[in-house]
Chain A
Amino acid sequence: MHHDIENPYRPIETEVIEVITETPNIKTLRLRPKERISFVAGQFIELTVPGVGEAPFTPSSRPAEKDIMEVTIMKVGKVTERIHQLNKGDIVGLRGPLGKGYPIDSFKGKEILVVGGGCGLAPLRSLMYELFDRITDFKRVYYRAGCKTAKDFLYKEEIGGWAKRPDLDLRLTVDEGGSGWQENVGVVTTIMDGIQMDYASGIAVVCGPPIAMKFATKKLLELGFKDENIYLSMEKNMSCGIGKCGHCRIGTYYACKDGPVFTYAQIKNFPNIWD
């Protein structure tokens, strides 16, 4: 009999322990679930606001930190608007972790190029923490990130600190420069040239808005990255998280259980993947 199957639709009671304002429309919630949740970078969770509904997010915190999870959330819809009104001490619900994250063990000994844009820097922060925790496992890590303007840049100070790390090759860009911005101006593909790495054997990880992922992937292919070495985070309408409700189908996969991290090789033959 199957009486031991846990209820996959039940959220875990979770306390908001801090709300951090990152940019005018992005906040980070520090969450303490009442039951321990362990995830790998790239997996996602469903966050419930009681009485409002739930929505999918990818944690942005260090996976090794087991009691606290951080989720960085842009205000874009009904649920996120309510999330932005949450305060310290409020109770929310959390389901997960769901889906498949980055297969970091398989990156061992390789050069890794991480490319991020906009809100995509949130899941990538979680990945970067995991890479930093075992940085000597990799040949070299490159980080390329872009946002619309300097004031939209997530984790600005923290990423500024990463720039000083000798074990990381980092470049940043904004679409529209302004006073005080010392780095590159242009879309993220403009800082992907000239990297002294072996593209054919390198790993690329891309996370950002669909349009940025589309052009970054095109650029990576031009540089010589292999389809199976390009890891993409596909944003679909994930709901149940276990491949039942049907909303997030992408070709022969469900983004919620087979992804949200896919290699380009897995999905390149499906029509309209960037829509």
Chain B
Amino acid sequence: MAQKYITYNNLLTLLDELGKDYEVYTPVKKGEQRFYRKYAEPADDIVIGEVRPFEPLKAFFSPAREKVADGFKPDIPHSENKPFAIVGVKACDIKGLKVQDHVFVDHDYQDPFYIKMRSQNLIISADCTCSIDTCFCLALGTKPFPQEEFDINLSKVDDGFVAESGSEKGDELIARCSRLFTETGEYVLSKKETQRRRVTREVEENIKKNDVPAQERLGGVIDKNYESDMWKDEAKTCVECGACNTVCPTCHCFLLYDQKNEERMARFRMWDSCMVKDFARVAGGANPRPRLWERLRNRFEKKFDFFPKTADMYACTGCGRCISACPAKIDIRKVLKRLANAS
């Protein structure tokens, strides 16, 4: 795919253009964190580059709370909102989407809600231009720059971006707004590559410093460590808050919940947490995982045993959000290290 150059000011014009058809979101920086915010006008806190925002990308496609049935009507409740154009999406979150896609689209059964949101949206991703201590994407085979599943990818160079289309939607958008793009030259392309190499090196150093095992060393580690005492040890400080599930870009479990009004049936789904005691409990009272350490083990089993066996991928992107979010300081890098080293 041919690459074009777009200046920062022209990108803002492009966002205005997108605003006609989409609800546009960009990451903004507050303190040391980045968050997605609806784009209205140019602002100094917009950051397209840097690292992943606080919230996982899944929040756009399977909202934390969503109505899935309204009465007994066969039609699908849907919002009148415009589809999302999400700008500045990181490679780790794109890997997360691949897991979500597997669950909701590529599986034996399809989920019409997710499919609708996903097919109508636009993803303008961006290379990471730095790393933070918790980044370890390379260990899970993800590079700190998107290589697939985007409509347009942006690589920040000087006061603008190298723009690469990754889909027909991206091609059309660049063609339609061709006035905003210029040709790229050797200089910007080499700067883009230099930056990619620099950020890759930073993440490599992170991984080395924290001794995170590469995914090639994770094959069969759950089976081998199933009876290990390490689970009790790692779960010791867990407070069962479910923050790790909430911020995880691959966690997909949800609870179906009916509105408490006997006059009118309405059903919602909400994100659920496998760390919560009743997650797998049946009405009769039997609970396959009554103990907290069993639930922590289950979380790792799902990501590092179930997904590789059923979907041929680890359900971890190396984004490090669970490390930052955990009030008990449970560190997935340390757990993976113990798993790999024990076997």
Contacts and interface: CB of A to CB of B under 8 A. Distances in A.
Interface stretch (B72-80, B160-168, B204-212): B72-80
Nearest to A8: B109
Interface string B90-120: 0000000000000110011111100110010
Contacts of B312: none
Contact of A9 (B116, B253, B259, B269): B269
Interface stretch (B183-191, B260-268, B317-325): B260-268
Interface string B262-285: 111101010010100001111111
B100 to A, nearest CB: 10
Contacts of B310: 252
A240 B282 CA distance: 14
Contacts of B119: 1-2
B256 A245 contact: yes
Contacts, number: 141
B64 interface: no
A235 B279 CA distance: 14
Interface in A1-50: 1-3, 5-13, 34, 48-50
A6 B72 contact: no
B243 interface: no
A8 B269 CA distance: 12
A14 B283 CA distance: 23
A2 B112 contact: yes
Nearest to B254: A245
Given A7-B74, A9-B68, A76 B116 contact: no
Given A76-B283, A235-B284, A243 B259 contact: no
Interface in A209-251: 209-210, 235-237, 239-240, 242-249, 251
From B103, B115, B281, B286, residue with most partner A Cβ within 10 Å: B286
Given A8-B109, A54-B258, A240-B256, A48 B284 contact: no
Contact of B263 (A12, A49, A51, A244): A51
A211 to B, nearest CB: 9
Interface string A88-105: 000001000000000000
Contact of B109 (A79, A239, A244): A244
B104 A9 contact: no
Contacts of A34: 72
B280 A247 contact: yes
Contacts of B269: 9, 245
Contacts of A275: 286-289
A7 B263 contact: no
Interface in B288-324: 288-289, 302, 306, 309-310
A263 interface: no
A257 interface: yes
A180 interface: no
A31 to B, nearest CB: 14
A54 B73 CA distance: 17
A52 interface: yes
Contacts of B258: 48, 50-54
Contacts of A235: 282, 284, 286
Contact of A51 (B110, B261, B284): B261
A7 B75 contact: yes
Given A5-B110, A50-B264, A51-B259, A247 B74 contact: no
Contacts of A272: 288
A208 to B, nearest CB: 12
A55 interface: yes
From B256, B279, B280, residue with most partner A Cβ within 10 Å: B256
B284 A76 contact: yes
Which A-B residue pairs are the 6 nearest by beta carbons?
A246-B253, A51-B262, A77-B283, A242-B109, A13-B72, A9-B68
Interface of A: 1-3, 5-13, 34, 48-55, 74, 76-80, 93, 209-210, 235-237, 239-240, 242-249, 251-252, 257, 271-272, 275
8 contacts: A8-B112, A50-B263, A50-B265, A52-B258, A52-B262, A54-B256, A243-B109, A245-B253
